[in-house]
Amino acid sequence: MWKDAILLWQNTVRKSPFKARPHNNLGKVYKEMDLLNDAMTEYKTALSIDPTYYIAHNNLGVIYKEKGLFEQAITAYKIALSIKPDSYDVHNNLGVIYKEKGMLDEAERIYRQLIKLYPSNYVAFLNLGELYVGKGLLGEAVKNLKMALNLNPKNSVAHYNLGQAYFRMERLEEAEKAFTTALKLDPRYGFAHTGMGQIYMQKGFADEAISEFRKAVELGGADSATHYNLAVIYTKKEFWDEAVREYRAVLQKDPEDCEALYGEANGLDKTGKKDEAIKHYQGFLETCGKNTQYSAIVNVVTARIEEIKKH
């Protein structure tokens, strides 16, 4: 399929080498094949022919983003918007990259512009609602997510984010309803299983929480908090091997997480792996020993190391 498309547009480029559109379309085919450098070359060629071709600027921004060149991507998107100020795709791409860079105020501004331009498109309301969840502006999050769901009631992502907003507002019944709806729409939505795990954990239903968190892990919907919550439950149930496994999953994403460092060492200690426990207790002290937030744990760990060494 892709070979035929490449041959088609390569032939078109040969016949019309000074037209921008064939170069852009050949670049799109290269991009779909993950040939990013070839795609970039074609987009740049298209722009050398027609610098006002906003679609090629946008496509070049997409390539820059995939290559991790965020500043170049932002520049490309801004140029595209200066040429085509009402472009839905460019606004959305710019908002997404601002959000990923943690530039939340800029992302909010872009999403608001998008809503003014396309008030019947649910995606901008969804993105703005999700952003407000991240900023802790939960009332605004609920408002925008409900707008998204009015426009698209079957969007599982909007239901999930609404559940997260309600959960953070401690409105557990509404949160559970939103997560349940998300899972009815998409039973393999891993993050919604994480949400249900949070609900069960909050209600004290440990086994049900474990089941939901494990489903999230299996489906790729687990973040560090998912693994940490599992570790906490396993620790309370004294399932030490499982607790250590989950603390290590947290540490893979954040090697300096003090609570996970202590939890891993404590779990090893409880399973009788004393030498390994000492090593990890010492790792905790090296990383977190000067953090006054953990001064009480530091004292416990220091005493525990001495106790193990005496025996």
Contact call for residues 260 and 250 (beta carbons, < 8 A): yes
Handedness of CA 170, 172, 178, 180 (dihedral sign): positive
- pTM value is 0.86
User: What tens digit of pLDDT does each residue of 107-128 get?
Assistant: 999 999 999 999 999 999 999 9
Please give the domain boundaries of the chain with CATH numbers for all domains: 120-222 (1.25.40.10)
pLDDT value, residue 311: 75
Contact call for residues 301 and 283 (beta carbons, < 8 A): no
Q: What is the 3-state secondary structure (H, E, C) of 24-55?
A: HHHHHHHHHCCCHHHHHHHHHHHHHHCCCCHH
In terms of C-beta density within 10 A (0-12 exposed, 13-18 middle, 19 or more buried), how is residue 72 classed?
middle
Helix, strand, coil percentages in the chain from 3-state DSSP, rounded to 5: 80, 0, 20
User: What tens digit of pLDDT does each residue of 54-104 get?
Assistant: 999 999 999 999 999 999 999 999 999 999 999 999 999 999 999 999 999
Q: pLDDT band at 26, cuts 50/70/90?
A: confident
pLDDT value, residue 20: 87
pLDDT value, residue 8: 67
User: What tens digit of pLDDT does each residue of 180-233 get?
Assistant: 999 999 999 999 999 999 999 999 999 999 999 999 999 998 999 999 999 999
pLDDT value, residue 39: 93
